[in-house]
Amino acid sequence: MATVELTFSALPAHVRTARLVATAIARRTGVEESLLDEVRLAVGEACSRAVEAHRLHCPGEPVRIELRDDSGRFEVTVTDVAPSDELEGTTTLPTITSEPLGAMADPFESGFGIAVIVGLADDVEVYASPKGMRIRMSWPAAAKGVTPA
């Protein structure tokens, strides 16, 4: 198992860096080229949500992202430590319905980003707790991925 871990200050400018790193590792792991845009967008959404949560609640704490190449899957876990009112456990994943325009809430408050992730990754788990949220998502990785020496 190869793992890359990255922690970054909760600044919007660093989200792009996290996207670039995740896409590079996904390519190296053997994720199909046609899925790389989905990886880039889903990781960006998860990191954006975490950065916004940290900026509101704990701007000094870094956001953590782990990238794993494990048993034929490329797995990404984004963890924030922003306190919330969420009860501990796996949350019900949101879906987007066609709401009237006037009913659309703020994208972050409404879980818009998480709904986008659910639409992009074929395997997503959102684990919420009062101490923060963990979003784990994965994509199939082809056997041609580079294995550690």
Partner 1 sequence: MDLKLDHRTEDSLTIVEVEGEIDVYTAPRLRELLIDLVNKGNFHLLVNMEKVDFLDSTGLGVLVGGLKRVRAHDGSLELVCTQERILKIFRITGLTKVFGIYASVEEAKEAHGRDK
> In the complex, which residues of this chain contact partner 1 (CB under 8 A)?
12-13, 15-16, 19, 37, 40-41, 44-45, 48, 51-52, 96-98, 101-102, 104, 106-108, 112-113, 115-116, 119-120
Degrees to nearest 5, angle at CA 119 with 69 and 90:
70
Residue 135: CB minimum distance to partner 1, A:
14
Report the chain's terminal Cα–Cα distance, integer Å: 11
Minimal distance, residue 134 CB to partner 1, in Å: 19
What is the smallest separation between the CB atom of 39 and partner 1, expressed in angstroms? 12
**Helix-then-strand count for the chain, H and E:** 3, 6
Q: Which is nearer to partner 1, 71 or 97 (CB)?
A: 97
* Nearer to partner 1 (CB atom), residue 23 or residue 77: 23
DSSP 81-143: ----SPPSEEPPPP------GGG---TTTTTHHHHHHHHH-SEEEEEEETTEEEEEEEEE--T
In whole angstroms, the minimum distance from the beta carbon of 95 to partner 1 comes to: 10
Measured from the CB of residue 146, what is the shortest distance to partner 1 in angstroms?
Answer: 25
- C-beta separation of 136 from 75 below 8 A: yes
- Separation in Å, CA 145 to CA 24, 75, 87, 99, 140: 12, 13, 38, 41, 11
